[in-house]
Structure 1
Amino acid sequence: MSKLAGMAINERLFHVGIMEEFDAAISSCNQKEAVALLQRAEISREEAMVAVATIFENPGRYGYPKQ
């Protein structure tokens, strides 16, 4: 079993060391990069796409500036 199992998305991103890259991808509206980074954190493509779309729908809710 992976060390990332059971971790939240932010925890996974932090553990893998790509939190800042993910924040930059979201801030620049780079959906493809954001999904790829989530996949590096062992999140399935489908789940990553849903997560990124959800963040883009209401970025302020997740601590990002409104697009």
Structure 2
Amino acid sequence: MTATRPSDDELSGMTVNERLFACGLLDAWDEAAMNRDRPQMIALLLQTAIERDQAERTTDAVLKNPTMYGF
């Protein structure tokens, strides 16, 4: 069985973590966050129907206080 990415409409009602999980990107996000890989974190968020400015703000919030987000 091949998983398909939810539609942008389906993703729009989800939290960031829910979007990452639904798109099969949660493990990659965790790895990028642990490595403090800002470009990769943003790239992953962009795959979940998050606009670039929000992806950058979300990434920067995590990188500013990683322990708050479990990293």
TM-score scaled to structure 2, two decimals?
0.86
How many angstroms apart in 1 are the aligned matches of 2:15 and 2:60? 17
Q: 1:26 aligns with which of 33, 44, 50?
A: 33
The total of aligned residue pairs comes to 64
The equivalent residue for 2:52 is 45
* Structure 2 residue corresponding to 1:10, chosen from 6, 9, 17: 17
RMSD, aligned CA:
0.9
Unaligned runs of 5+ in 2: 1-7
Provide TM-score, normalisation by structure 1.
0.91
Higher Cα Rg: structure 1 or 2? 2
How far off is 1:29 after superposition? Answer: 1.0
Moved over 4 A (4+): none
Deviations 1:7-51 (A, max 9, x none): 000000000000000011111111000000000011011000000
Partner Cα distance (1:28, 1:62) in 2:
14
Q: What percent identity do the matched residue pairs reach?
A: 33
